Structure 1
């Protein structure tokens, strides 16, 4: 009876050992497969400085084992080109999503949103001038200028003209991203616009001479 029990126990332990060995070999094979399976990853071809905008000439596509792929690694060129680095990136280093940002995603530094050749200039606005505080970052507006002319008798004529057309809005108050349904409404009293240097001076001069109003463009793309 005792020998039969020992035999059954030996068979049971053998089955367990076989099962554990099978699972181990399966995991080893899976690891080998992942090491043999290469995937694309984007590497820096040169040193990329913080705040530098990434171009296709700065990066290269390489292949690495899937198992060695870092979390958040950028795998296609369009994911990187046009974005700016939020930290220095060494030559040969993989580009990671949390170290890149687009102009539209920028929440802290308005200087990162300004395109080359342009400037950021802020003007004070009231509730009506800002289209009832409905203008949002990344909207496009026209700037209308009104100026009171010298009085003629009891009448002081007001001249109104289109000062600037289709200007990009960088920020409203200190907010640089569009409002979401979860955000608490905060009234703002200034708007930051993106202008070339000459238009920025024209806007500041007009603000000193009279009043400006903003006219909001539609974001809806018309059907073809």
Structure 2
């Protein structure tokens, strides 16, 4: 009986001590909050791998001591949602701005500049097919393709020209994604040499673009800066040039 009473007493003392510690810590936390010594910061709820688009399920807000706040930490989830990570972020780690890729920044690498749902496809151009080297990064172009189709038995091949894709962004010129990169500068240094222009296209647009560049010829048509209209123009056959 005596041992049982001692056990009960020990349990009561233990619970009282635990409650006292909890109240002390809770009171300390509230005191810090009142004194603005705690701040809310965005932290990773789970491991976020590099080159991952951040969703609401991956992050959360957390109160931390102000002294522990990193100067580059994000304090609003709106700043991170939809952004792509440059490097891995561990669970509970503060989300830092330097870990997030800035939108369409050439310093992050080309893969960070490609919009969601698009692909980067490079095509070879010269001074003629590349609009005299006057296309620059950030411009929008149409791509025209010329190709031959075999006619019926005994008939000659027929040449066609068609607008393959319209209103696509120029991501890079040669190996430069800088808006200051102009193909005309390079063409003056190396006449008749081919250059590459990388376009932002959908997977569906990539197929005819690659097929015609491999089996036919392509030519870029530079669009006006403010024109994003897509129009329907039927293909033209070689014999239509003769009236």
TM-score, L = length of structure 1 = 0.66
Structure-to-structure mapping, 1:70-109, within 5 angstroms: 70-107=70-107, 109=109
Listed one character per residue, the Cα deviations across residues 161-214 of structure 1 (whole Å, up to 9, x for unaligned) are 21101223222211123228xxxx555810112223342221121113332222
**C-alpha displacement of 1:146:** 2.9
Q: Which runs of 5+ in 1 are unaligned?
A: 1-31, 151-155
Distance 2:55 2:161 in 1: 43
Residue equivalent to 2:200: 194
Distance 1:65 1:217 in 2: 54
Distance 2:130 2:44 in 1: 43
**C-alpha displacement of 1:88:** 0.7
**C-alpha displacement of 1:36:** 2.6
Tell me if the contact between 2:146 and 2:159 (Cα under 8 Å) persists in the aligned partners. Answer: yes
> Between Structure 1 and Structure 2, how many residues are aligned?
182
**C-alpha displacement of 1:95:** 1.0
Q: Which runs of 5+ in 2 are unaligned?
A: 1-31, 151-156, 188-193, 229-243
**C-alpha displacement of 1:124:** 0.4
Distance 1:62 1:109, change over 3 A: same
Residue equivalent to 1:125: 125
Tell me if the contact between 2:101 and 2:108 (Cα under 8 Å) persists in the aligned partners. Answer: no
TM-score, L = length of structure 2 = 0.61
Residue equivalent to 1:208: 214
Tell me if the contact between 1:104 and 1:177 (Cα under 8 Å) persists in the aligned partners. Answer: no
User: Considering only aligned residues, what root-mean-square deviation do their CA atoms show, in Å?
Assistant: 3.3
